[in-house]
Structure 1
Amino acid sequence: MTSRDEGAVTTPGGTRTGDVVARGGARITTEEAKIQILRLLDARLSGDATERWFKHMQLVVEDANQVTVLVPTETHVLWIQENFMPELTHALSQVLGCGGRPRVLAMNGAAGGQLTMLEEPKKQSKAKEAAAEGLAKSLKSAGLNPLYTFERFVVGGNNQFAHAACKAIAAGVRTAYNPLFIHGGSGLGKTHLMQAIGQDILKARPESKVIYLTCEKFTNEFILAVQKGNLDNFRRRYRKANVLLVDDVQFLNGKEKSQEEFFHTFNTLLDGRAQVVLSSDRPASEIQTLEPRLVSRFECGLTVALQPPQLETRIAILRRKMEEWEVKIPEDWVRFIAQRIRSNVRRLEGALVRIATFNSLGQGELSTDRIEDLLRDILREEAAAKVTIDTIQKAVADYYDIRLADMTSRRRPANIAFPRQVAMYLSRKLTGGSLVEIGEAFGGRDHGTVIHACKKVDQMMQTDDQVRQTVAALGARLNR
């Protein structure tokens, strides 16, 4: 290989690009172009960031407006796209005169461009390549994200049972698990587990027809099918599935026609021994205006709950993400994030991205004050999530000047009953408590009493400005 071939890459068509035309018309090797680009990146980023994310990049210059930057892994692709695209685009423009946004792809072809690396490509068997390509197409057709696998899911006490149930379904042990109903708050892993089921089934049984979609998509497609007269095609698509994974079924709330269609789709699938997996942000019995016949069917299989992760699990999640993203932050800051962010895994990951990015950009020393400033909005949201039924009862009792004990007593005069109903309403809106849990906290009342209280307060807020302003003010005070 000559010096002009250093850093050369091979395009899918086999064309080698040993040199390129630089800005101004001079010809330089791709290695020389890379060195100049790294210098420009170094001037804008910290040396650590340039070294970590761009040191091993390769360039494919297709024309003056299209450059492909190849990096070692999919993690590099995601991190560069999220954090360094403006700097990379500027550097390429200065060195090569490129006018377009560069493509960033993984050298192993995982990023969809199927470019192969480079210098001495590793030969893979055609059978493996065909299988990988077939799986990728199947995942895309099924609506599955290839990143949502069981291997990437961190198991802890908060999700162990749900994880085991999902693994059993994926392995074909499904007799008592149909349907599987997963419920839990936002960002706890419902979508991840559902999609992992679909992926494992397609890997083991590629001929299976697996479909993942949100309930909102199901509803929108149903409405469109009715409008266009394509109901037969719509029903054929979903009722012929071997595995149907439907996310966020609470979206059926208040949609009578969609509930009717979903009811018949559900029955057809179960009658045909197809597997159904559903998720919701609450138990089926707590989805308002959901028809009783749907509730009974959703509950006839196995119901599992996802809880917020414990401290040890949150730390394990952060360590796993640091390993995947190839980033490092001090262990003290890992523990700080895990201790301060408790309720939502997405929020936890978002906090890690911010701190790791700040650290890699070399913007200064990390300190407690600096981290709290970086995470101000996330920590504010987390603090709002910590509102408890006890704090709501105390705030409402203080506002209406009644005893705290009246919140749990059996006394029913209007000056006590209505504040108690307001407290139940706020408990439902501001906490993750179920109807049963809220009823228990208000003196052992049943869930029907809580539903009645929520409906009454909601109705009064629509007709009485003073009630609406009072409830809004209490909610704002509790969220501070």
Structure 2
Amino acid sequence: MNHQLSANEKQTWILFQEKIKEKVSPQQFTTWFVNLRLIKFNTKEVYINVPNSFCMEWLENNYMEVISTALSEVTNTNYKIQFVVDSKGFQEHTLSIQRGSHPSDEKNPGYINKNYSFDNFLVGPCNRLAHAAALAVAESPGTAYNPLFIHGPVGLGKTHLLQAIFLQLQQRSGGRNALYLPCESFVNHYISTIKTGDWDSFRNKYRQIDVLLIDDVHFLANSQSTREEFFHTFNALYTCQKQIVLSSDCPPEEIPTIEERLVSRFRWGLITRIDPPGFETSVAIIQRKTSLLNMEISYDVARYLAEHATSSIREIEGALTNISRYAAINENKIDLNFVKQVIRGFIKQKNYIGIEEIFNTVTKHFGVQLSQLHSKRKFKSITLPRQVAMYLARKLTNLSLEEIGGYMGGRDHTTVMHADEKIRKLRKQDQNISATLRKLETVLTKKQK
């Protein structure tokens, strides 16, 4: 079905993709939508090219309403959607460096962002350890930290680091065979293999490689049989001293339904967390991103975005992209007033709880003085409230470890990390502590509103 797309069709397809991105998660877009191609529009129908029959079946069963709504919103027309399976067959939605191949010969799928290099990753107190570990793995896979498990909230750079490792291996592969993919792709490949029965091909794909990088491994929580397969894949790679890198929105022990044997294996190497960036780091990130977009903004504009955007780097990127597009369309100078107009409505405002409010609530609940929290005394009656305050500051504020330590009487960031881990464990083990934390969080949330 050969058809040369018109400029209007191309623009409509771009707007359609942007609309889909608003309706699904980044992982879902990467897995199911990035490889779709527009074939043509007819009067009442739109023809869309899909990579394979499994993808077509999944879209029809799970995303037809999303696709239809997005298309209708963009075109103001209710088109009938016709999927067409690519007769040549797209490459499977993964990326592999074949042994002995040259990087320039590789076909990078759309979800690999070539800007996600180590050079473009801005290092701050919130991510320094994760960056150093990822760099060590890229330089010496299988020997530095194995496995490397990076966790943290959505949009803080986990995918960037995994793809940076991959891109560096691509440049310096030296005959290594590496594979990067979202966990959902692994799960979907497993499901499709149940249908085809081609287990040798499936296992060879994931076990005969040197480096396996899986994004959003918490997705394994949805499928027990897939976890069983991944368990054996992990063992096969680890036994052969092959590098494994995983990312997740939460630490291993907090992934729902995951078995202890997998949790223990994830802990064999290094587990590191990425935190929301502090204010100065956010400003630096914004300035770095604008340079990649060839945008010129003042420090006041960068400061305003850092203060009013959420702590998600992904949302900051989206805000800057929209600012750039609006400026190009309207031929506007990017000043503070223009930025305020553009971001109003599509970017969430930061709504973090102040650390002073946390201190007031904790001291009132436990009946201690603020000076006691800041002191070096180690009485249990003071240590517990102090650790609770640091735990709540980690959870409910946008402050870095160093900044929280500074508010807590000049304590080191490792003290804050220890307090956070201690209260997390107590919350699971002690029902009274768990109830206390829920009560404090409820009080703080109500005050925030």
Return the TM-score normalized by structure 2. Answer: 0.59
CA contact (8 A) 1:190 1:306 kept: yes
Match of 2:321 in 1: 353
Counterpart residue number, 2:283: 315
Answer whether contact 1:308 1:342 (CA < 8 A) is retained: no
User: Cα deviation per residue 1:146-168 (whole Å; 9 max; x = unaligned)?
Assistant: 33221222222222222222112
Counterpart residue number, 1:168: 136
Q: 2:147 aligns with which of 171, 179, 191?
A: 179
Q: 1:478 and 1:337, CA in 2 relative to 1: closer, same or farther beyond 3 A?
A: same
2:245 corresponds to which residue? 277
Q: What is the letter of the counterpart of residue 255 of structure 2?
A: I
Aligned residue in 2 for 1:341: 309
How far did 1:186 drift?
Answer: 1.1
Relative to structure 1, is the Cα distance of residues 475 and 372 closer, same or farther in structure 2, using a 3 angstrom cutoff?
farther
- AA matched with 2:175: E
CA 1:341 to 1:245, structure 2 compared with 1: closer, same or farther past 3 Å? same
Q: Percent identity?
A: 35
Give the distance between the partners of 2:5 and 2:112, measured in 1 at CA. 32
Q: Among residues 192, 201, 208, which one is paired with 1:224 in the alignment?
A: 192
- How far has the Cα of 1:194 moved from its partner? 0.7
- Please give the alpha-carbon distance, in whole angstroms, between the structure 1 residues aligned to 2:222 and 2:367: 34
The match for 2:365 is 404
Structural mapping, 1:202-241, within 5 Å: 202-205=170-173, 207-241=175-209
Give CA-to-partner distance per residue, 1:180-221, whole Å, 9 cap, x none. 111111111111111111121122126322111112221222
Higher Cα Rg, which structure: 1
Q: CA deviation at 1:326?
A: 1.5
Matched, 1:447 2:418: no
Partner residue in 1 for 2:374: none
Separation in structure 2 between the aligned mates of residue 267 and residue 441 of structure 1, nearest angstrom: 31
Q: Could you say which residue in structure 2 is the equivalent of 1:157?
A: 125
Distance 1:215 1:404 in 2: 42
Superposition map of 1:292-307 within 5 A: 292-307=260-275
Q: Is the 8 A contact 1:439 1:446 kept in 2?
A: no
Q: 1:206 to 1:381 in 2, by over 3 A?
A: farther
Structure 1 unmatched ranges of 5 or more: 1-62, 69-77, 83-98, 101-129, 398-402, 411-425, 458-469
1:439 Cα offset (Å): 12
| 8 Å contact kept, 2:217–2:246 | yes
d(CA) in 2 for partners of 1:362, 1:318: 22
3-state SS of 1:277 partner: strand
Q: 1:341 to 1:196 in 2, by over 3 A?
A: same
Give 3-state SS (helix, strand or coil) of 2:212's partner.
Answer: strand
- CA deviation map 1:236-274 (0-9, x unaligned): 211112110011111222532222111111000011121
- Please report how far the alpha carbon of residue 351 of structure 1 lies from its aligned counterpart in structure 2 after TM superposition: 2.2
Aligned 1:135-146 pairs, distance under 5 A: 135=106, 137=107, 139-140=108-109, 144-146=112-114
Distance change >3 Å, CA 449–CA 132, structure 1 → 2: closer
CA contact (8 A) 2:184 2:219 kept: yes
Q: Deviations over 1:80-115 (max 9, x none)?
A: x98xxxxxxxxxxxxxxxx99xxxxxxxxxxxxxxx
Deviations 1:389-439 (A, max 9, x none): 9869999x9xxxxx73499xx9xxxxxxxxxxxxxxx99997899xx9899
Query: Cα distance, 1:313 vs. partner?
Result: 2.7
Q: 1:186, 1:227 → 2: CA distance?
A: 33
Cα distance change, pair 267–430 in 1 and its aligned pair in 2 (3 A):
same
Q: Distance in 1 between matches of 2:118 and 2:333?
A: 36
Supply the distance in 1 between the matched residues of 2:280 and 2:398 (Cα, whole angstroms): 21
Which residue identity is paired with 1:185?
Answer: P
CA distance in 1, matches of 2:154, 2:119: 21
Q: What amino acid is aligned across from residue 404 of structure 1 in structure 2? A: H
TM-score, structure 1 length as denominator?
0.56
Q: What is the one-letter code of the residue matched to 2:200?
A: D
